[in-house]
Amino acid sequence: MDKLIIKGGNRLSGTIPVSGAKNAALTLIPCALLTEEPLTLRNLPRLADIDGFQHLMGQFGVSVSIQGNNRPEDFGRIVTYQAARVTSTVAPYDLVRKMRASILVLGPMLARMGEATVSMPGGCAIGNRPIDLHLKALEAFGAEIELAAGYVKATAPKGGLPGGDFDFPVVSVGATENALMAAVLANGTSRLFNAAREPEIVDLCNLLVAMGAEIEGIGTSDLTIHGVKRLHGATYRVMPDRIEAGSYACAAAITGGEVRLEGASAHDMASTLHALQSIGLHIEEDAKGVTVKSNGVLKPTDLTTAPFPGLATDMQAQLMSLLCKAEGTSVLKETIFENRFMHVPELARMGADISTEGRTAIVKGPVHLTGAEVMATDLRASMSLIIAALAAEGETTVRRIYHLDRGYERLEEKLQLLGADIERVDD
């Protein structure tokens, strides 16, 4: 198993390209199940989760072909998916258990084939993430749901889903995505109230519209979907990854550096940029990207995660590492997941002064961070350790980095472009 060796102290400076968004790509890929025609996705990041999802698509008989200039040294890929004939409607445990996003095949498979059997999903152990809202939304559209032996079996009435209305009691990104993909081929009109508004939801809606779907209210919490008889193929570019961009901004900031995030969308990552500004960073935005500058002086702040347009929970761990160097006490409140402070004990091994109570973390700074052997517990926690290591004195070893490979495209190479002393080695 690989590990990362990081020697801290280098000021990061330079330009890096922002990859296609993992969280968007994992929602766009299953859209291929909605049509017999080819779906081509551009700017698809090279990630373990993407590879895993492609294996799952192959289980259904979907052909996957990599096109164009796809040299190993390039970032991103162009991939075409075609579900000309769906050969299976079962997503087995072995392919689903490592990746929570696998549940997103449920809606499109049900819409097109009239049935789907999907193993209960896995993913990062960051707290309870039930799929009850996914199932309740599908039931509202006319599906019959059965749970047995660790699998979800969804069945549509003969002739297809009739469609319906569903009001989310709490905002759910994944359930909104599944419901959208199910509703686009329903026989009638469906309405989603209190739907998630994340940029990745907008990206999904834009792709579905490009495929022939009829969706009103894109970008709002109330969506109206007029079901159509069929969808056609499309070529679509995956949106830039706002979490990756924010992570590298934190990495540069903790070293007193400056980074140009080429291709980043300031609109999509507005809450992160606002948080960084409150910490004392200077932000410059233009049509082609975002530049983040630090003068080395970081201010404490209070931050609370919330559904979009609030601060993304996926940025909490990275910002926590950055605030370890702020001159004062900061308070972070996690409102999305109840178990997302698992990185705190590992940061403490490096000298961080962080106390937690329930879903609140109190970060006291500035502290003198020192290199240590640490272990990643989930995807974003892994990045928080990398960020701390870049500012630490001495050498840090980060183990279990397979988490990072799920969500950061060739992380060490991008950090090396900025001047970081980081190396991947066999453990």
Does residue 23 have a known ligand-binding role?
A: yes
Inform me whether the pLDDT recorded for 178 exceeds 70. yes
- What is the Cα–Cα distance from 32 to 83, expressed in whole angstroms? 6
Instruction: Say which range, 142-146, 210-214, 346-350, 375-379, has the weakest mean pLDDT.
Output: 375-379
Which of 220, 237, 254 lies at the terminal end of a domain, its last residue? 237
Same domain, 220 and 131: yes
Same domain, 233 and 244: no
The verdict on whether omega for the bond into residue 366 sits within 30 degrees of 0, i.e. cis, is yes
Same domain, 403 and 313: yes
- What is the Cα–Cα distance from 273 to 20, expressed in whole angstroms? 19
Other residues' Cβ atoms within 10 Å of the Cβ of residue 404: 25
Of the candidates 31, 124, 205, 324, the residue annotated as catalytic is 124
DSSP 393: B
Inform me whether the pLDDT recorded for 318 exceeds 50. yes
| pLDDT at residue 106, rounded to an integer | 96
| pLDDT at residue 71, rounded to an integer | 57
- pLDDT band for position 167 (cuts 50, 70, 90): very high
Does residue 100 have a known ligand-binding role?
A: yes
| pLDDT at residue 74, rounded to an integer | 66
Same domain, 263 and 206: no
Which of 202, 237, 272 lies at the terminal end of a domain, its last residue? 237
> What secondary structure does DSSP assign to 122-139, as a single string?
----SS----HHHHHHHH
- pLDDT band for position 427 (cuts 50, 70, 90): confident
| Buried/exposed 269-278: b ≥16 CB within 10 Å, e otherwise | bbbbbebbee
With 0.75 as the threshold, say if the pTM is over it. Answer: yes
Same domain, 257 and 173: no
Q: What is the pLDDT of residues 179-227, one digit of tens each?
A: 999 999 999 999 999 999 999 999 999 999 999 999 999 999 999 999 9
Same domain, 200 and 58: yes
Same domain, 248 and 366: yes
Q: What is the pLDDT of residues 100-146, one digit of tens each?
A: 788 999 999 999 999 999 988 754 343 444 789 999 999 999 999 99
- What is the Cα–Cα distance from 252 to 390, expressed in whole angstroms? 9
CATH number of the domain residue 100 falls in = 3.65.10.10
Same domain, 179 and 67: yes
User: For the chain, how far is it from start to end, CA to CA, in angstroms?
Assistant: 5
CA atoms lying within 13 Å on the CB side of residue 416:
9
Same domain, 26 and 60: yes
What the block records as the tokens of 215 is 């969706």
Q: What is the pLDDT of residues 40-56, one digit of tens each?
A: 999 999 999 999 999 99
- pLDDT band for position 72 (cuts 50, 70, 90): low
What is the average pLDDT across 52-79? Answer: 84
| pLDDT at residue 129, rounded to an integer | 47
**Overall domain count for the chain:** 2
Does residue 10 have a known ligand-binding role?
A: no
Same domain, 293 and 379: yes
Length of the chain in terms of residues written: 427
Same domain, 56 and 9: no
Mean pLDDT of the chain: 93
Domain that residue 153 falls in: 22-237
Known active-site residue 324: no
Which of 237, 261, 287 lies at the terminal end of a domain, its last residue? 237
Does residue 197 have a known ligand-binding role?
A: no
Same domain, 9 and 38: no
Does residue 133 have a known ligand-binding role?
A: yes
Inform me whether the pLDDT recorded for 152 exceeds 50. yes
Q: What is the pLDDT of residues 248-305, one digit of tens each?
A: 999 999 999 999 999 999 999 999 999 999 999 999 999 999 999 999 899 999 999 9
